[in-house]
Amino acid sequence: MAGVTTALSNLTEPQPAEVLAGAGRRKPRRFGRAAVLVICGVYFAVPLLATLLFTVDNGNQGFSLSAYSDIFSVAGLWPALQLSLELAAATIVVVFLLLIPAVIAVRLGGQRLRMVVEITCTLPLVVPSIALTAGFSTVLRWGADNLASTPFFQTLNDIQDPNFPVVLLLAYVVMALPLAYRTLDAGMRVLDVRTLLEAAQNNGAGRLRAIVTVILPNLRGALLNTALLTLALVLGEFTVASILGFTPFAVWIVNGNSAGQGPVTVAVSIVSLLLTWALLLVVSMTAGRRRGAPADPA
């Protein structure tokens, strides 16, 4: 019996040649992964380093941080940034109000409802920003020509208020729908929404209360990712705002470069990029701790 056991163990143990072959296969894989990481790092790092050098190289004076110190005094930055942040906050709220009921209905409904919602939310991907802006411009011109004698004309003027252009908010909501829907739907797929709602309702909660107190807390990660994606979209969007004649953050950066404030506007871009990266890092670390936290014994 001992001999049979020894023979079986010898057959199951990897032989030296097999071990060497396995190690040989692992080395090219590791080398390939390292090469891809190095190429990607160089691809992203070189432009950033060149941009950073542009902001600190002050011609004959050499190294200077004046571009970063001038951020706090440059004209037009803070109104433009405030407008973008207000539009981003409003866009996030509207997107949540539209998509959270939609993704819950999709999970509770049938396949036909899923197809309708997915097609509707994916349509903005196939519509270029120029075409979307042309549509808004056409509607605004038509309203100015045909609604001048109606009470709706004042409403048309109000949605174009430079202090808070609602028409720009509507455009951003449309542009944010594809990514926002996919992010929320991915977070919703890991939940058994029907069971959670039934359990909450069996404990006396209404459907709205069950959604707010049970479903949404389990969607914290997806909601936060959706908010960050929407914020990045609004802060970086240029085409629609520029053509419609408004000056949020991205348009101000381009106008500042045209006005000879290149180093300062580029410094602002670098600072905003670093802050965005830091925020994403904090979010990912927080989500990682939440996933790795031990389950509640209760």
Query: What does the pLDDT look like over 115-158, one tens digit per residue?
Result: 888 888 888 888 888 888 888 888 888 888 888 788 888 888 88
Lookup result for tokens 């936060």: 224
What share of the chain has pLDDT > 70, as a percent? Answer: 81
Q: At what angle do helices 111-122 and 166-189 cross, to 10 degrees?
A: 140
Most confident of the following: 73-77, 100-104, 197-201 = 100-104
pLDDT in tens, 7-39: 445 544 555 554 445 545 555 677 778 888 889
Do residues 94 and 169 touch, judged by C-beta distance below 8 A? yes
For 92, other C-beta atoms within 10 Å of its C-beta total 22
- Neighbour tally for 193: CB within 10 Å: 21
What is the pLDDT confidence band of residue 168, given thresholds at 50, 70 and 90?
very high
| Radius of gyration, CA atoms only, the chain | 27
- Write down the H helix ranges in 109-219: 111-122, 129-146, 152-158, 166-189, 193-202, 207-210
Enclosing H/E stretch for 290: helix 262-292
CA angle 261, 255, 90 (to 5 degrees): 120
Q: What is the mean pLDDT of residues 62-68?
A: 76
Residue 250 has pLDDT above 50, yes or no: yes
Looking at domain 67-292, its CATH class is mainly alpha
**List of residues 6+ apart from 38 with CB closer than 8 A:** none
Question: Per-residue pLDDT for 282 more than 80?
Answer: no
DSSP-based three-state secondary structure for 147 = coil
State residue 257's pLDDT score: 61
Reduce the DSSP state of residue 63 to 3 states and report it: strand
Count other C-beta atoms under 10 Å from residue 93's C-beta. 14
Whether pLDDT at 172 is above 90: yes
Is the model's pLDDT at 217 over the cut of 60? Answer: yes
Q: Is the pLDDT of residue 284 over 80?
A: no
Closest CA to 237 of 174, 282, 185: 174
